[in-house]
Amino acid sequence: MSKGKIIVISAPSGCGKSTIINSILDKESFDLSFSVSATNRAPRQGEEDGVHYHFLSTEKFRDAVAAGEFIEWEEVYPGRYYGTLRSEVDRIINSGHNVILDIDVRGALNVKKIYGNTARTIFIMPPSIGELRHRLEGRGTDSPEVIDTRIDRAEYEISLAPDFDIQIVNDVLDTAVSETTTAIKDFLQ
């Protein structure tokens, strides 16, 4: 198994990305460590600073941008910044492990541009926009307006899917998990 490689996983909201990643990391003994991103959004219930994210004020986030501390950063939602810290990725790679990044689509493509063949980008997509809408409505957590915004964003993100190294359709969860597992295994071997 190789060291110092970067797996980047992106998906539109509601495509089961976290479920797929967690299920793989629970089952497989891949030598993969999560890079903890920085964000200026507030912690959600149960989220810990330094574990789920490095939670920064907007000012501190901007300072970090100016100081060149990010490999990439994006305004994923209006006023909400997220960035991959160079110090995190370097720490994982220098300690002889591989990195897994769960970042947005534009961030993923930037990481690929920077790291080339050292990075493999995986895009998880819904079977169709209709099915994604059905899932988001089924969750019952979002208003119709929020669902419309998510769908618009998903359409934009899906338009960038061909630029990823690998595209996986999450129709049947077990199949998506096993296809993602195979993709990671192939890359790390």
User: Which residues of this chain interact with ligand 5GP, rule CB under 6 A?
Assistant: 37, 41, 72, 74, 76, 82-84, 102-104, 107
Encoded tokens for 57: 């004020």
Compare residues 2 and 115 and give the one whose CB is closer to ligand 5GP: 115
**Nearest by Cα to 120 from 129, 111, 107, 128:** 111
**Nearest by Cα to 183 from 28, 62, 74, 26:** 28
Residue nearest to ligand 5GP (CB): 107
Compare residues 78 and 189 and give the one whose CB is closer to ligand 5GP: 78
Asked if 15 and 124 touch (Cβ cutoff 8 Å), the reply is: yes
Alpha-carbon distance 62 to 40, whole Å? 9
Compare residues 84 and 98 and give the one whose CB is closer to ligand 5GP: 84
Q: How far is the CB of 76 from ligand 5GP (least distance, A)?
A: 4
Pairing state between β 80-85 and 98-102? unpaired
Compare residues 73 and 187 and give the one whose CB is closer to ligand 5GP: 73
Q: How far is the CB of 183 from ligand 5GP (least distance, A)?
A: 18
